[in-house]
Structure 1
Amino acid sequence: MTVWEAARLALRGLRANKLRSGLTTLGIIIGVAAVIVLVALGNGIQSGFTESFGSLATQITVNANQEGTNGAPRDLTDADVAALDDPVDAPDVVSATPIAGGPVTVQLPGGSRFRTSVTGTTAGYLDVTDRDLVVGRMFDATEERGKAKVAVLAPGPVEDLFAGDAGAALGSEVRIGRTAFRVIGVVAATGQDDVVITPLGTARSFLLGGGDAVSTVVVVARSPEAVPAALAQVTAILDDRQSVDDPAERDYTATAQQSLLDQVNQTLSFLTLFTVAVAAISLIVGGIGVANIMLVTVTERTREIGIRKAIGARRRAILQQFLLESTILAGFGGLVGILLGVGLSTAAAIALPQAIPDFPPPVVDVNSVLISFGISLLIGLVAGGYPANRAARLRPIEALRFQ
C-alpha cells in the first residue's frame, strides 16, 4: 500500500466521525494558538522595551558615591566631565553630560508647595536620555551659559500645579525654591516623572548652593560595540584624576547600561518561555486526547482490520494507516490553531494600542508558528504510535471474532 492510499483511508476514517474528530483536536488547537499568542505578546514587549530604551545601549552612567573612601562626601566635578569629554583620552566617548540634582519645592505664586527634585544639566540632556517633549522646547546653550531662569517640567509637577494640563503649564511662572522660573516645556512620562529640569548653572546658583559638583555623568559611547572600550577609558581617566590604584577605593561607580538591558531582556525571555511552557500543557492534553480516540477507533474497527488482514493487508499497511490518521488529526488541529493564534495576535496588534496606548503590540514570530505546527505533527505521531501498533498486531482470526 502506498502512502497516498494509506492517507486516503485515514481521511475516510476521520470523515466518518467528524464531530468526534473535531472535538479531539480542540486540545491541539488551543495549545498551538496559545503558544503563538503568548510568544507574540512576549516578542512585542521585548521589541517595545528595546525601542523605548535602545538608546541606553550606548550609555555609561557614572555616579558619585555618597561617601568617599575616607568617609567624607565626594562629588564629581566639571573638570572630571571635561576630562571624560576629551577625544584624546577618551576616543570612544561621544559626549559626557553632567547632572546635578537635589530636593526642592515648587509652587505657583501664592499657591501650595509641593516637594520634587531638580535636575540641573546641559542642553543636550533630552537627546542623551531619549526623553520627548509634550509641548514647548528644551533650553538652549545660550540660556545655559546665561543661567536663564527657565524650567522644563516632568509630568509630576504638572499634575501637582496644573492638574495635568501641559498646555496650561507652558509659559507659566512657577517658584522653585525661592526663585521664579518660566516654564518653557513639558516632557513626556517616563520612569522619572517627579522632577524639574533647569540649566546646570542656574540650578547651582539658585537652588543647589553653588559650587561645581556633579552627582551623575551620562557618558555616551560611539556605538554599542564600543561600550567596553569607552567604559575602560572612563575608569582610567577617573582613577588617574582621583589617584586610585585599587578599584575598591573608587569614589564613584561606572555602569554600562547595556548590562542592565541584557538582564531585563533575559528576564523577559524567561517569563515568555515559562508562559509558553504552561500553554504547551494544552498540547500534551491534546496528545492524550488523540491517543485515547485512536484507541477507541482501533477497538471499533477491529473487524475491519481483521478483514483487511485476512485478504492480505500487511502489518506495515495497517500501522501506516493509523499513524497517518493520528498525524493528520493532530496536523489539522495544528493548522486551525495557527490560524486562530495568528488571527488573535493580529487583532490584538490592532486593538491593544487603541485600548492601552503604552502597551506594545504583539509581534508574530514565524519560528514559533513553524515549531508549534511541527510539535503538533510530532504529538500526533507519538500519540498514534501505540494504537497503530496495537491495530497492526491484531491476529486476523481474533479480529474477525470481535463483536
Structure 2
Amino acid sequence: MSILDSIRTALRAIAANRLRSGLTALGLVIGVASVIVLIAVGQGAQQGVQERIRGLGSDLIFVKPAAQTDRSTGARGAQGGGITLTAADADALGEAKVPGVVGIAPQLSFNAQAIAQSQNLGVTIIGTTPSYTDVRDAKVAQGAFIGAEDIDRRALTIVLGSAVAGTLFPDGDAIGQQVRIALGPQGFNFRVLGIMAPRGGTGEQDNYVFIPVSALSARFQFLRNPRGDISVNQINIRTAPGAKQEPIETAITDILAQRHQVVTPDFTVQSQNDLVGAAAEVSRTLSILLGSIAGISLIVGGIGTMNIMLVSVTERTREIGIRRAVGARGIDVMRQFVTEAIVLSLVGGLIGTGIGVGVAMGIDGRDISGTAMETAIQTWSIMLAFGVALLVGLISGSYPAFRAARLDPILALRSE
C-alpha cells in the first residue's frame, strides 16, 4: 500500500467516525491555540517593556537611592528605606567632569492632582532642571521648557505633558494659563510655560508635568532631607554616543560614595542596557513559562489521540485480520494507523493555528481589566506548536500501530 493510499484510507476512517475524530482532534486544537496565544502574550509583554525602557532615551545611566549602611555600626537598612540622593549630588557629578558624560539632570518625582478649568487629573510631577530635555531627549512642542531663571527664582512655572495638556485644556490654549497642583491639603498655582511633544509608546511619559525642582522643594517641605538639602529620586546621566559605560559607572560610584561616606554605596548605578537586559530576561522566562503551561494541553491531547487509536485498533481487529489474510504486511498495517494519527494531528494543528492566530490578533490592543493587552505573534511559535502537534500525533499513533501490526491474522479473523 502506497502512502497516498494510506492517506485516503485514513481520511475514510476519520470520516466514518466524525464525532469521535472531532473530539480527539479538539485536544490538539486547544493545545496548539494555547501555545500560540500565550507565547504571543509573553512576547508582546516583552516588547512592551523594552519599548518603554527605550522610550526613556539612549546612552543613559540612572543613579537611584538604595539601602544605606551606617559606617560606625555596619548596620544596613532596608532596600529603598529612604531617599539618599540630593540635587547637590547631581551638581557634584557635573563639577567632576567625568570623561564621557555629556549631561546630568536630577529628577524628583511624585504623584499629585492637576486642576484647571474644572478638570481634575492625576499626574506624575517631575521636579528637574533645564538640562532634562537634553539628557532625556525630550522635545517641547509648544512654548518653552524650564529655564535657568526659573530655577534661580524658584518660579511657579510648569510644563505639561501632551496627554495632560489635552485633558486640562481641550481647546489647545494652554500656554500662560494657570494649573493648580494639589497634594493633600497643600496646593499651589503654576503658570504654563510649554507643552511637551508626545513620547508615544505606553503613553506614561505623556502624563508627566515638569516643574523647577527648586520651586517644589521650597513649597513642599517634605521634599527636603533633615539637613535641608533637596532630595531627588533619581539622577539622569547621558553619556557620549559609543562611550564605554562601565568606567563611567565606576567613576560615578566613587564620587558619590566619597560624598556620602558610606561603607556600602547607598545608591545604585544602572545603565539603560542593564535595564533592557534584565527586562528581556524576565520576559523570556515568562514566555517560556506560559508556553510550557500551554504545552501541557498538547500532551493531554496526545494522550487522548493514543487512547482513541487503541480503541480503533480493538474495534477494527477483524478488518486488520482480513488485510493480513489478503497479503498486507505488518508494516502496511502499522503505516495505516500511524497515518490516521498524523492526519488527525494535522487537522487539529491547522485548526488550532487558525484559532490561535485569530485570538492573538483579536486581543491585541484590547483593554482587559484596565490594561491594554499587547501581543506579538511569532512565526517560530506557530511552527513549534504545529511541529509538536505532529510529533505528538506520530508518537501517540506509534504504539497502537505497533499493536495492530503484531496481531495474529487467524486470531484477528475470529474476532467479532
> TM-score scaled by structure 1?
0.77
Q: Are positions 1:199 and 2:212 aligned together?
A: yes
In 2, distance between residues paired with 1:46 and 1:81? Answer: 32
- Decide whether the 8 Å contact of 2:156 with 2:190 is kept in 1: yes
Does the 8 A contact of 1:68 with 1:74 survive in 2? no
Residue 323 of structure 1 corresponds to 338
Shift of 1:144: 4.2
Q: Does 1:6 align with 2:16?
A: no
| Inter-partner Cα distance in structure 1 for 2:43 and 2:16 | 41
Task: Indicate whether 1:348 and 2:382 are aligned.
Answer: no
Give the aligned partner of residue 165 of structure 1.
168
The residue correspondences of 1:63-82 to structure 2 (distance < 5 A) are: 63=64, 69=70, 76=86, 78=88, 80-81=89-90
Q: Which residue identity is paired with 1:370?
A: M
Partner deviation per Cα, 1:295-345 (whole Å, 9 max, x = no partner): 222122222211221122211111111111111111211111111111222
Q: Determine if contact 1:85/1:94 at 8 Å carries over to the other structure.
A: no
Q: Is the 8 A contact 2:130 2:148 kept in 1?
A: no
User: What corresponds to 2:46 in structure 1?
Assistant: 46
Given that 2:53 and 2:272 are in contact with CA atoms closer than 8 Å, whether structure 1 keeps it comes out as no
> Which of these residues, 256, 259, 268, is aligned with residue 242 of structure 1?
259
Q: Which amino acid aligns with 2:22?
A: G
Checking the alignment, whether the CA contact within 8 Å between 2:157 and 2:212 is kept in structure 1 is yes
Unpaired segments of 5 or more residues in structure 1?
A: none
CA contact (8 A) 1:35 1:280 kept: yes
Q: Is the 8 A contact 1:204 1:211 kept in 2?
A: no
CA distance in structure 2 between the partners assigned to 1:391 and 1:225 by the alignment: 69
Tell me the equivalent position of 2:311.
Answer: 296
Separation in 1, partners of 2:22, 2:113: 67
The question of 1:98 aligning with 2:124 is answered no
Separation in structure 1 between the aligned mates of residue 60 and residue 9 of structure 2, nearest angstrom: 64
1:361 aligns with 2:366: no
Tell me what 1:61 maps to: 62
SS at 2:372's partner residue? coil
C-alpha displacement at 1:52, in angstroms? 1.6
The separation in 1 between residues aligned to 2:413 and 2:116, in whole angstroms, is: 96
In the TM superposition, 1:134-283 aligns within 5 A as 139-141=145-147, 143-144=149-150, 147=153, 148-152=155-159, 165-167=168-170, 170=174, 171-174=176-179, 180-185=189-194, 190=204, 197-203=210-216, 213=230, 215=232, 216-222=234-240, 226-239=244-257, 242=259, 248=264, 250=265, 252-256=267-271, 258-283=273-298
More helix by share: 1
8 Å CA contact 1:143, 1:199 repeated in 2:
no
Give the aligned residue type for 1:376.
Answer: A
- 2:130 matched residue in structure 1: 123
Query: Counterparts in 2 of 1:332-347, with a 5 A limit?
Result: 332-347=347-362
Task: Summarize deviations over 1:217-269 as a string: whole Å, max 9, x none.
Answer: 11134469844343123223434x5396x852x45442345444444443333
- 1:61-111 superposed Cα distances (whole Å, 9 cap, x missing partner): 22467978568x975455x535644796322x34211235799998889x9
Which residue matches 2:78? none
- Specify whether residues 118 and 21 from structure 1 end up closer, same or farther in structure 2 by C-alpha distance, changes over 3 A only: closer
Query: Contact between 2:69 and 2:263, CA under 8 Å: does it hold in 1?
Result: no
Kindly state the Cα deviation for residue 51 of structure 1 after the two structures are TM-superposed: 1.1
**SS state at 2:11 partner:** helix
TM norm structure 2: 0.75
Change (3 A) 1:150 1:51: same
Distance 1:323 1:105 in 2: 67
Distance in 2, Cα, partners of 1:75 & 1:359:
34
Instruction: Note the C-alpha offset of 1:281.
Output: 2.6
Report the counterpart of residue 377 of structure 1 in structure 2. 390
Distance in 2 between the 1:385 and 1:102 partners?
63
Q: Write the distance in 2 (CA, Å) between the matches of 1:263 and 1:2.
A: 54
Q: What is the Cα deviation at residue 391 of structure 1? A: 0.6
In the aligned structure 2, how far is the partner of 1:70 from the partner of 1:54? 37
* 1:145/1:225 CA distance change after superposition, 3 Å: closer
The alpha-carbon distance between structure 1 residues 48 and 40, as it changes in their structure 2 partners (threshold 3 A), is: same
**What residue identity is the alignment partner of 1:184?**
L
Count of aligned pairs between the two proteins: 387
SS at match of 1:25: helix
| AA partner of residue 382 (structure 1) | I
AA aligned opposite 1:317: D
CA RMSD of aligned residues (A): 4.4
**TM-aligned CA distance change 1:6 to 1:68, over 3 Å:** closer
Secondary structure in structure 2 of the residue aligned to 1:362: coil
Instruction: Indicate conservation of the 8 Å contact 1:41/1:361, yes or no.
Output: yes
Distance change (3 Å), C-alpha of 1:21 and 1:107 = closer
